[in-house]
Amino acid sequence: MKKFNKIFGVVLASCMTLSLLAGCGGDNNTKENQSGESQNTGSQDDTQNADNQTAGGEGVFKIGGIGPITGNNAVYGQAVQNAMQIAIDEINEAGGVNGYTFEMNFQDDESDPEKSVNAYNNLKDWGMQLLVGTVTSGPCVAVAAETNTDNMFQLTPSGSSVECVEHPNAFRVCFSDPNQGFGAAKYIGENSLGNKVAIIYDSSSIYSSGIYTKFTEEAANQNFEIVSAEAFTADNATDFSVQLQKAKDAGADLVFLPIYYTEASLILTQANQMGYEPTFVGCDGLDGILAVENFDLALAEDVILLTPFAADATDDLTVSFVTKYQEKHGDIPNQFAADAYDAVYIVKAAIEKSGATPDMSVSDLCEAIKGAMTEISVNGLTGEAITWTEDGEPNKAPRAVVIKDGAYVAM
């Protein structure tokens, strides 16, 4: 009996801990999950008839999304998930596309190619007809091979490596890595921002090394000189004094940072401590630097970013999106969110153009939308009159902003 009591006690205690944990998670996530949950109850009803891929005869386009909502890159996946939900709600409220509504299901891939393919298969079971994803490059390449086999239309909001859109069924919203490197080199050259350029990049990141390679290639054609190129890896991304010292010793007056904002904020702080004050130029990965905690915004003064999206732009579209995002999720949307928001509207435009209907098979739908993609022109958050070529690359003008008094100012 004593033993029974003991076991009973343990079970009760674990139940209580569990409910406590569940409670905690709930509080933090209610905001994020409201949309997630409502969409999930919908999806459960639909799993029954998910076997036939053309399910959705009720006039619903089933859009799948894949991205990391747990793990290291969770920020990006969550931003994409939230923004997609906002766009889809907007479209559905406004009466849908040609009278059909959108339904969304977003799956976690932890930014891992293997998990991403699992998520894709899971979405296929749900009856997905179009894929908006995946968020990160590595998984995107793996999933693109699968969508190509199934001939499913894929539009990645932020998968920037070249191979992401190598198949004819895949398109993207963001610039490709080489494109960014090329654009950055050209921008620096044409605006004579510096004569001696140092680069600090992350050799373990596909994004960063992709930009770096193309940047150095293009730099040969420009009127500046690369005096140092120093790499770091994700495993030692805390101390940059060596790289900065080398840049300083080489007399660089401009430091190019094709990296993400977390490391960039450290670089800016450490450069300030060294008393080194070159011009810093970054790509869209630097977007988010103003939101870093415990970071002195004065250090980011005059940093130049080549980003397609600035959350404090004053055009109506951006203002309405940022307000909605803030109301629903409490923080300022980053460039990933903007890409995802655009992605949904691009899909809408392509469906309208092609006159596709939800009762078409996945493959027919893909052919129809693929054809329409090269004909449409979309005004979005990340660019005006964006058009696509058959190779899946977007055609839009790069935008540059400079940070003044803790805010982006267009250049």
Partner 1 sequence: MNSKKMQLNKNLTNNLITYGLVIAAFFVVQGMIWTGKSSSLMQGLLVPLCVYVILAVSLNLTVGILGELSLGHAGFMCVGAFASAFFSKCVQEAIPNSGLRFFLAILIGAAAAGLFGILIGIPVLRLKGDYLAIVTLAFGEIIKNIINVLYIGKDGNGFHFSMKDALSLHMESDGVLIINGAQGITGTPKDSSFIIGVALVLITLWIVLNIIHSRDGRAIMSIRDNRIAAESIGINITKYKLMAFSVSAALAGVAGVLYAHNLSTLTALPKNFGYNMSIMILVFVVLGGIGNIRGSVISAVILTLLPELLRGLNSYRMLIYAIVLIVMMLFNWSPKCIEFRERYSLKRLLKNRNHNKKEAE
In the list 12, 18, 385, 410, the residue contacting partner 1 (rule: CB under 8 A) is 18
What lies within 8 Å, CB to CB, of 192 at 6+ separation is: 223
Q: What does the H/E/C string look like for 185-218?
A: HHHHHHCCCCCEEEEEEECCCHHHHHHHHHHHHH
Per CB under 8 A, 114 contacts partner 1: yes
CA distance 220 to 209: 17
Query: Given the complex with partner 1, which of 134 and 354 has the nearer CB atom?
Result: 134
Per CB under 8 A, 36 contacts partner 1: yes
Q: Which residues are paired to 97 by β-bridges?
A: 100
Question: Residue 137, SS3?
Answer: helix
Query: Given the complex with partner 1, which of 10 and 410 has the nearer CB atom?
Result: 10
Amino acid at 262: T
Per CB under 8 A, 163 contacts partner 1: yes
Query: Given the complex with partner 1, which of 80 and 376 has the nearer CB atom?
Result: 80
Query: Given the complex with partner 1, which of 148 and 279 has the nearer CB atom?
Result: 148
Helix spans in 131-191 (H)? 137-150, 177-190
Give the tokens for residue 268.
């800016």
* Cα of 30 vs its chain's centroid, Å: 22
In the list 209, 265, 334, 357, the residue contacting partner 1 (rule: CB under 8 A) is 209
In the list 66, 87, 91, 142, the residue contacting partner 1 (rule: CB under 8 A) is 142
Q: Smallest gap, in angstroms, from Cβ of residue 283 to partner 1? A: 16
In the list 54, 98, 101, 118, the residue contacting partner 1 (rule: CB under 8 A) is 118
CA distance 279 to 398: 19
Contact assessment for residue 132 and residue 343, using Cβ atoms and an 8 Å cutoff: yes
Query: Given the complex with partner 1, which of 125 and 375 has the nearer CB atom?
Result: 125
CA distance 291 to 388: 32
Binding site for partner 1 (CB under 8 A): 7, 14, 18, 21-22, 25, 29, 32-33, 36-37, 40, 44, 69-71, 107-108, 110-114, 117-122, 124-125, 138, 141-142, 144-145, 161, 163, 203-206, 209-210, 212-213, 216-217, 231, 233-235
